[in-house]
Structure 1
């Protein structure tokens, strides 16, 4: 790169220069600094410029850039390379935290600066190891959203927060795009469905399974399609879905109705995902429907609309999603934000002010508030001009338009798969040589080199090689399994391969473990773990095999969602135990982990937050959390004190106890809030009689079944009831008893107190508490 071109790459916008100077100023007093900048404002260019300045001042510095996904690592490497900082010179190294966690001992240089991209993930245990191993290195965390759902702050890791201007400021100054915002109406059936979502996942957000059950339905997907047709017809955009099935259903429906859409998720092969993104950027694909793939790091400025089809309580997730559409692009007048799941009423407009410092300190959760529209964010459709097109029967309403937004901000000050073809990877024949290759759409992924291709499935192909042996290869031709003497191969469900030999006899190969079976295995599912059953024997789907008789007593099997345990009451533990007071600590227990196809483990114990400790057959101990995989923590033959079981476990137990307490506190608050909201919805309940008994009803809906001798007219959230003859108590409108029925008279006051008559002439007044 020429010096002049490098100068252009290094030229920062004024706000980037300002933040850069504030970072260097902060480093004078603090070793660890977090920077908050909205999505689309150039965080990666800023960090590259900071690194460039440091390396220019001191040539021998070593810099690490850590991201939480491999795709982000590649994007960072590309951006940093524009500053003449290439990974080949060894001074700057970009890595995923997953890779680094597995290779601590393989890296021998010591970083002077550690940059953490998307640093709101840094509270994970794997990141904390950076602070433990490299306490003297400067740290720089970059994020658009320094907040967590569980209100955990970042002050244990970062000493200070450097904040940029707000999204509203960036829009007003022309650095981010203006937008239209359409949201479902507060009284719509869709909003009611979302209001009734009650289950929470481990991180405090809505439970994916419940969301998928409620919203992954044909009528709801039809509404999504109608919204896109009405508000973004012909535009290029991204849809955020709940689950893989939801995304694929949306993409299939859109494609079947004239919108060129594809679904991308964690199971989409990397090469195919890359091709989809490139096709989207080039305009060959109109809509990408994704599941948590483009929430961070996805850079395509000419996105014209973003459709939100996934409810969330996470402010970070909301802003990461809408932020994909706020980048500026030549010829792009505005971005259309289509909110089919009521996020607007949770978080307000994307341009609303956020108290990032309070969230950074952990004094405020990055969580949605169902009443946010009451805090000044709301600009309803009825306030728009008469020229705005609003259909009477539409379930959505325009809450903001791009032409009104500048005034509003000023005044406020604040995997290609269609229903026609499910085989994405296809074979093609070279006419000259008569050999077969592989392609995805029109792109060749493996050159002609196979005598035949028997079958393809989910990015893999069963092929015959030139030497007439057979095997399984991936989409780029890498050999995954090689076999001999088979006439035919065919993929079956559940990652099984049927192989027919030259005599017509069939055998079955587990593509997970590579093990062959003479009979077709039956797939057994235990929570998130699968095993194969053949002739009364259960086999693990791991390369290091574990097998167990099928007639094992149910008392010897324990499902724990992300793991499966088998007790052996005749064998003492083969590994150290986390808690020797545990009832099962005196027996050996083998453990299989979800999505781990390498080996089986010995179970060491469970921590207070539900995470577990396991040991492999090489003496390595791991911490396993649901949805996060395993993290190496200790060794039976430790090289350092930090790898000693007795040192690591007390710390992990204390941290897990804190997480469990926080989770319990969150759940309790949410339960109280949910109950308050329910009571508000049933405040007009009235007594009704059925036979000889009384209950409460609101309209035609029974709130409290008729089980009482008598009920008085409710006062506020409370209602007096007669249990036994002439013995009265008090219930809440939802039926919860707050005063037992042992008083001859009860009088409820409007101020939330009640006067209870014990005997004639003797009364007492109590304060009613029924919300906890």
Structure 2
């Protein structure tokens, strides 16, 4: 949507339009650059500024917020240098790292994109747009209009007792959860087997699964991958320490069927599209609607064609949102 919006804006200006596209992950920037190049029919449009890469020209840049702060653009650019600034995953804009960028630059158009505008901490992000949402479509309407794939959602009871797990600032203690789900072998193995049984019960064919499991911690992700491999289900764990090559390779193996599941923590939550994913396991307790919708979105790729039978599996304690 932002690529088409930019194209229309650019075509209305004989002098063209300088663009700054901001996101917080390299994968989002790469996919966005590719999308803009397709829409503009220009295979050379835009340059990346992320993970040490520096653009030769600054007129059309896809830049990480980390690089933006490192370069301190506000120290050597005019406030109106960019005609259009697009900030993806705009719900992050309440963070301190975005404030200098947003307070300094004065583009003709500031466009914020997010699937989850409501923040759990109640911080307001709409004031940047005079409390006006230019376009909005929610999950049920998007599915009804065949912009996203419909899904089957299963809630599976979990017998692991979390009543004694420490609750701080709206979250379970990660260390305590990891202890239950990994270190206490009897409990951990019983839960992992219950998850595997649920997948077997609610899916028609293991050969057709291209799945992602969202885990509590790195240790939990690796434990789940090891358990599934031991049961003959090809699986791999990815985390923040995994290299770009490992992530790309894992995605390709998932698409080809060489892997059935990838277990992740704090990866693939937002902004990254892997069209082959058709099964999701929510294996971490959360009371955050933002996290829940972001993870659900990994199994609802856009487009009405292939994928209408995509399904989402849920494993977790009875009434908890997992």
Scaled by the length of structure 2, the TM-score of the pair is 0.84
8 Å contact kept, 1:312–1:343: no
C-alpha separation in 2, matches of 1:223 and 1:126: 41
Is 1:171 aligned with 2:139? no
Structure with the higher fraction of residues in helix conformation: 2
- Look up the match of 1:69: 25
C-alpha separation in 2, matches of 1:197 and 1:228: 26
Q: Deviations over 1:286-311 (max 9, x none)?
A: 21111111111221223221111011
C-alpha separation in 1, matches of 2:152 and 2:7: 38
- Look up the match of 1:231: 202
C-alpha separation in 2, matches of 1:52 and 1:60: 10
8 Å contact kept, 1:318–1:343: no
C-alpha separation in 2, matches of 1:342 and 1:138: 45
Q: Deviations over 1:264-320 (max 9, x none)?
A: 110111112111112222333221111111111221223221111011111110001
- Look up the match of 2:185: none
Is 1:102 aligned with 2:70? yes
- Look up the match of 1:87: 46
Deviation at 1:329, TM superposition (A): 6.4
Q: Deviations over 1:173-192 (max 9, x none)?
A: 3332222221133xx523xx
- Using a 3 Å threshold, how does the CA distance of structure 1 residues 280 and 55 change in structure 2: closer, same or farther? same
- Look up the match of 1:313: 287
Q: Which of 337, 340, 350 is equivalent to 2:315?
A: 340
- Look up the match of 1:57: 12
- Using a 3 Å threshold, how does the CA distance of structure 1 residues 321 and 342 change in structure 2: closer, same or farther? farther
Q: Which of 171, 179, 192 is equivalent to 1:221?
A: 192
5+ long unaligned stretches in structure 2: 48-56, 183-187
Q: Where do 1:408-487 residues align within 5 Å?
A: none
- Look up the match of 2:51: none
C-alpha separation in 1, matches of 2:189 and 2:46: 48
Deviation at 1:104, TM superposition (A): 1.2
C-alpha separation in 1, matches of 2:147 and 2:247: 29
- Look up the match of 2:82: 111
8 Å contact kept, 1:199–1:210: no
8 Å contact kept, 2:285–2:320: no
Deviation at 1:324, TM superposition (A): 1.0
Deviation at 1:165, TM superposition (A): 3.0
Q: Where do 1:138-157 residues align within 5 Å?
A: 138-157=109-128
8 Å contact kept, 2:210–2:255: no
- Look up the match of 1:385: none
RMSD: 2.3
- Using a 3 Å threshold, how does the CA distance of structure 1 residues 343 and 132 change in structure 2: closer, same or farther? farther
SS in 1 for 2:311: strand
- Using a 3 Å threshold, how does the CA distance of structure 1 residues 344 and 176 change in structure 2: closer, same or farther? farther
- Look up the match of 1:183: 155
C-alpha separation in 2, matches of 1:301 and 1:345: 28
C-alpha separation in 2, matches of 1:230 and 1:134: 54
8 Å contact kept, 2:82–2:107: no
8 Å contact kept, 1:120–1:147: yes
C-alpha separation in 2, matches of 1:221 and 1:247: 11
Deviation at 1:262, TM superposition (A): 0.7
- Using a 3 Å threshold, how does the CA distance of structure 1 residues 137 and 212 change in structure 2: closer, same or farther? farther
C-alpha separation in 2, matches of 1:167 and 1:176: 8
- Using a 3 Å threshold, how does the CA distance of structure 1 residues 74 and 287 change in structure 2: closer, same or farther? same
- Using a 3 Å threshold, how does the CA distance of structure 1 residues 294 and 107 change in structure 2: closer, same or farther? farther
8 Å contact kept, 1:242–1:291: yes
8 Å contact kept, 1:97–1:126: yes
- Look up the match of 2:265: 291
Scaled by the length of structure 1, the TM-score of the pair is 0.36
- Look up the match of 1:273: 247
C-alpha separation in 2, matches of 1:338 and 1:97: 33
C-alpha separation in 2, matches of 1:329 and 1:303: 15
Q: Deviations over 1:670-721 (max 9, x none)?
A: xxxxxxxxxxxxxxxxxxxxxxxxxxxxxxxxxxxxxxxxxxxxxxxxxxxx
C-alpha separation in 1, matches of 2:278 and 2:319: 19
5+ long unaligned stretches in structure 1: 1-45, 348-772
- Using a 3 Å threshold, how does the CA distance of structure 1 residues 194 and 179 change in structure 2: closer, same or farther? farther
- Using a 3 Å threshold, how does the CA distance of structure 1 residues 163 and 209 change in structure 2: closer, same or farther? farther
Q: Deviations over 1:248-269 (max 9, x none)?
A: 1101111111111111110111
- Look up the match of 2:91: 120
Q: Where do 1:223-262 residues align within 5 Å?
A: 223-232=194-203, 233-234=205-206, 235-262=209-236
Structure of higher RCO (CA pairs closer than 8 Å, 6+ residues apart): 2
Moved more, 88-97 or 75-84: 88-97
SS in 1 for 2:167: coil
Q: Deviations over 1:157-181 (max 9, x none)?
A: 3322234233222222333222222
C-alpha separation in 1, matches of 2:237 and 2:22: 28
- Look up the match of 2:167: 199
- Using a 3 Å threshold, how does the CA distance of structure 1 residues 64 and 330 change in structure 2: closer, same or farther? same
- Look up the match of 1:212: 178
C-alpha separation in 2, matches of 1:333 and 1:222: 28
C-alpha separation in 2, matches of 1:310 and 1:134: 39
Higher-Rg structure is: 1
8 Å contact kept, 2:159–2:317: no
8 Å contact kept, 2:83–2:109: yes
Q: Where do 1:619-638 residues align within 5 Å?
A: none
8 Å contact kept, 2:27–2:272: no
Q: Where do 1:18-37 residues align within 5 Å?
A: none
Deviation at 1:207, TM superposition (A): 2.8
